[in-house]
Each structure stands twice: as structure tokens, then as C-alpha cells.
Amino acid sequence: RKAGHKMNQVITVKLVEALQPETVRQLTPLLIDVVEDGASIGFLPPLAENAASAYWQGVPGPGVLLWVAMEGDTIVGTVQLHLVLKPNAPHRAELAKLMVHPGHRRKGIAGLLIDTAEQAAAEHGRTLLILDTCSISHAVMWKPAKSRITSFPQMAEWTPP
């Protein structure tokens, strides 16, 4: 998948089937930067480089697909699709770790990543996607093609002390 944006740079979304050292080298500061910018993705700032690098070692994995958004040779965003492997949920998947570098936002990158993961979910027979997002303090669920969106306010609300 590709999209153009300001300054005519092309964004390409690629499935990462096996992590290479260069991929981890780029994903590590991406994770640190988005956490530092306030993203609620399971980490608190300041996030140490070794902790961020260690996180990526388990991705992708069983039931976890990883895509990166590339601008040229630079990773500027990422998303994961977690295929729920429980016997009672073969219809469900979760979008996770949707990240776009703060300096590359407002270029349609998150939309490209979501569309890519949504298509893959459908190809894997998933009819329900869940995205837990703090930016609107709701957990959002939708069916492929965004035919139905449901939000659950304060599903996982937490207020820091």
C-alpha cells in the first residue's frame, strides 16, 4: 500500500515477517519517541533504549502480525494485528501499538496502517476488530469496512496519582 503526502514523499506499508537488526534499530527510537510524546501504548516515559529494544524481540510472533510504514528507507510508523487465538474468539482481532512518529503525523500514515491491518484481519476470517485508544478515552470496536463502530467510554480508564 502506498500514499502520497506533502512534499511528494511516498509512504509504503510493509509486512515484517522476521525482525532484522536494522528494523529493530529503527523501531526502538520510534517507540521511545511516541511514548515520550504521550502515547498510551503500555509504556511510561522515560522509556530506556534497552527496554524498548527488548520489547521488539517478541514481535512478530504467534498470532501477531507487524507492519511498518516506510518513507524511503525510514520507518515512520507501525501497527500490529493480534489475531485472538482463543477457541471462543476466532472472529476477533485487536489492533495494537499503532504508532506514527510525531514528526510524520497528519500525512495519512495511521489510516494506511489501519486499512492494511483491517484487510489482513478480513483475510484471516476476523469480523471484529478492537482498538483500545486513550486519545479519546474509549475502546473502539468496528467491523471490517468500518460498517459499524461502537465505543465503550472509560472501558480501561485509569487516572495517574
Mean pLDDT of the chain: 83
Phi and psi angles of residue 143, each rounded to the nearest 5 degrees, phi first: -95, 155
Separation of alpha carbons 84 and 128, rounded Å: 10
97: amino acid identity, one letter: K
| pLDDT score of 1 more than 90 | no
User: Whole-prediction pTM value?
Assistant: 0.81
Q: What integer pLDDT is reported at residue 40 of this predicted model?
A: 85
- Pairing label, strands 10-16, 2-4: antiparallel
Q: What integer pLDDT is reported at residue 100 of this predicted model?
A: 95
Q: What integer pLDDT is reported at residue 24 of this predicted model?
A: 97
Among 30-39, 73-82, 152-161, the minimum mean pLDDT is found in: 152-161
Separation of alpha carbons 21 and 41, rounded Å: 23
pLDDT tens, residue by residue, 2-15: 554 445 579 999 99
pLDDT tens, residue by residue, 86-134: 999 999 999 999 999 999 998 999 989 999 999 999 999 998 888 876 5
- Return the higher-pLDDT residue of 103 and 141: 103
pLDDT band of 27, cuts 50, 70, 90: very high
